[in-house]
Amino acid sequence: MALQPKTPAQIQSMRTGGKLLAEGLALVESKAQPGVSTAALDAYISEFFASKKVKPAFLGYYGFPATICISVNDEVIHGIPKEETILQEGDILDIDSGLILDGMYLDAGYTFGVGKISEEARLLIERTKKSFFKGISVVKAGATVGDYGYEVEKYLSQFDYGIIRDYAGHGIGETLHEDPTIPNYGTPGKGMRFIENMTAAFEPMVTLGTEDVFIDADDDWTVLTDDGSLAAHYEHTVLITKNGVELLTQL
């Protein structure tokens, strides 16, 4: 499918919505303390979105039952907030959410520690974030999906980590998922070329062990590592320009 650049009005709506999404995620992080349920965190961001008069992008998407995906420890992505899931000291928590403003979608997420976490967990989170920035450092109009994926993979390959291959980043804008699919591995010069004023969500997903994952049969949503190893995720929606990118989902 041919990629479509966003109009100036659409880009401005995405800038505004992106800042609101970043605010909502920061609110959730501030409330994520030992003893708090993941359902309570979902309520905080739901109330925040309502107060800003924006629509949650995830709620009801293919039947997803919450406003935010909350994935704990060996849960990679798409975790469902639950009253019975209580955060513990030392957990690592991925929060991932999206919103709709003026018909335009935004998507972002990241992993952080609850209280004091292990050094290997801290490094996993830090390096997952760094891999995102390594990847987008080569993204601009004319660069390819493979250029991005190669940089992410090259950086992470120096560590004994698993790079999730079953899930990937994606174009975004008038719908939550648009072309192209953007894996976190690749070959320079290969794949679809980015165009000026398109928008996309880049999101490395990394584990302390295997790259193999499965979907929890109990909820048909939560993606977990096969070996129970910790997982981290980092995502922003970005605008692709002639000379680089603009992060839309940051404060």
Residue 135 domain-assigned (yes or no): yes
pLDDT beyond 90 at 2: no
- Per-residue pLDDT tens digits for 89-128: 999 999 999 999 999 999 999 999 999 999 999 999 999 9
Domain containing 217 equals 8-247
> Is residue 109 domain-resident?
yes
Classify residue 69: in a domain, yes or no.
yes
Q: Which of 87, 59, 55 is nearest to 71 (CA)?
A: 87
78 falls within a domain: yes
What pLDDT is stored for residue 4 in this prediction? Answer: 86
3 part of a folded domain: no
Query: Residues 163-196: pLDDT tens digits?
Result: 999 999 999 999 999 999 999 999 999 999 999 9
pLDDT tens column, 27-45: 999 999 999 999 999 999 9
CA distance 211 to 159: 13
The reply to whether 31 falls in a domain is yes
- Please tell me the predicted confidence (pLDDT) of residue 226: 98
Angle (nearest 5°) at CA 93 between 138 and 183: 30
CATH code: domain of residue 160: 3.90.230.10
* Domain presence at residue 2: no
pLDDT digits (tens, 9 = 90+) for 197-249: 999 999 999 999 999 999 999 999 999 999 999 999 999 999 999 999 999 99
pTM of the model: 0.97
Instruction: With a cut of 80, say whether residue 50 has pLDDT above it.
Output: yes
Structural domain count of the chain: 1
pLDDT at 3: 86
Residue 1 lies in a domain: no
What is the rounded end-to-end Cα distance, in angstroms, of the chain?
Answer: 32
Burial class (CB in 10 A: 0-12, 13-18, 19+), 133: middle
Whether the per-residue pLDDT at 1 is higher than 80: the answer is no
